[in-house]
Amino acid sequence: MILRRLRWPAALSALALACLPSTTASAAPRPVPGARTLQQGADALHAAGVTGVAVRLDTPRGTVTARAGVADPVTRRPVPADGFLRLGSTTKTFVATVLLQLVGERRVGLGQSVEDLLPGVVTGAGNDGRTITVRDLLGHTSGLPDYVGDVFPEPTARTYFAHRWQAYAPAELVALALRHEPAFPAGTGWAYSNTNYVLAGMIIEKVTGDTWERQVHERVLRPLGLRDTDTPGTRPFLPRPHARDHQQFTAGGPMVDTTIPYRPFDSGADGSMTGTARDLNRFLGALAAGRLLKPAEQAALLTMVPVGGDSGHPEGTEDGLGLFRTPLSCGGGHLGHGGNGFGYVVRAATTPDGRRSVTVSAHSRSADPRAEARQERALRELVDRALCDGA
């Protein structure tokens, strides 16, 4: 494990030195708020059974990181500092940002129907693209079924190894989902569905004539200088350094190395991106601070609806358009999005002003419901204390 603190900005250091008696040659840098609790939180998550944990907190006062456990249970090498991560569903926040930029350019409307943009794509089993809007897709109020159960019908290691190299075109994933009835009429409820963002990626491509991946690069990654964030599509290998991911498929069973992603649901606009905690914190901070969207689209991004007590989110959580708002113990709430796949969980969050951002990566997942609940509690507490401590 490691705990790293950065110095004060040079100007503040110079001012502090100028105020010292002439006999004093130097002064120790003031700790970044949250350094101690960050390491405690990483240790607690590791103690709950996660093989490897990495945390990065960025604040106006500097950056602090913490690590716990190992990157590889076989070699016992340490978790890399700011290693490369699978971002999973955090991809959705990047995609929502691009689509909202297109709304600001009047190239698409939030109230525009999916049928208008993708004629004939959303139909069947009671699903009707004429009643579903772009806003419904981005905010998970479409009622559309989730395709994930169709591409991973049996939660076993055998299914993972048998199908992890298979890739689907976006239209194929949508077609799989539309064999099932909607959860509710569009706009009348909330239910998380990866299908929504597969369609969002298709809309970006239809409107721009370009891939959603290139649009994310040109509109978000390049302007923010996020050189370590990528849209690898079906390319299965993470850049080095990175921790290895391990999934337990059955309670009491072995941990299976799942560092190779499951491409049926790790290769599209709903969850394929990779990056680092440094880049992810920079992105979320810029988005929350209003640096990526015009005021009207920023307001739309942050217009929230309750997600409901059975969603798996903490009580009081709300969903906007690609961002969740989760209550903080110190008051108010943080903005962010999580991502997970076989063997990994990434949780990224920022304060509403974007000045304090944290990313946590956990590199194993348990099949035991009790262990999973302990790890989730430890992860939520880590994020909460990181954003509240010294705020």
Do β-strands 246-248 and 127-128 pair in parallel, antiparallel, or remain unpaired?
unpaired
For residue 391, what are its two tokens?
């705020």
Q: 135 near 199, Cβ under 8 Å?
A: no
Task: Identify the sign of the CA torsion 122, 123, 127, 128.
Answer: positive
Q: 218 near 251, Cβ under 8 Å?
A: no
CA nearest to 330, candidates 384, 372, 285: 384
Q: Which residues contact 326 (CB under 8 A, 6 or more apart)?
A: 313, 314, 316, 317, 333, 334, 336, 349
For residue 106, what are its two tokens?
């009047």
Q: 199 near 118, Cβ under 8 Å?
A: yes
Backbone dihedral angles phi then psi of residue 266, each to the nearest 5 degrees: -125, 30
Question: Could you say which of 22, 26, 89, 361 is catalytic?
Answer: 89
User: For residues 323 and 337, what is the distance between their CA atoms, to the nearest angstrom?
Assistant: 6
For residue 89, indicate whether it is catalytic: yes
User: For residues 102 and 96, what is the distance between their CA atoms, to the nearest angstrom?
Assistant: 10
Q: 212 near 98, Cβ under 8 Å?
A: yes
Q: 324 near 12, Cβ under 8 Å?
A: no
User: For residues 242 and 257, what is the distance between their CA atoms, to the nearest angstrom?
Assistant: 13
CA nearest to 65, candidates 89, 83, 91, 90: 83
For residue 305, what are its two tokens?
């609806």
* DSSP per position, 308-320: -TTSSSPTT-EE-
Q: What does the H/E/C string look like for 85-139? A: EECHHHHHHHHHHHHHHHHHCCCCCCCCEHHHHCCCCCEECCEECCCCEHHHHHH
Which residues have a catalytic role annotated?
89
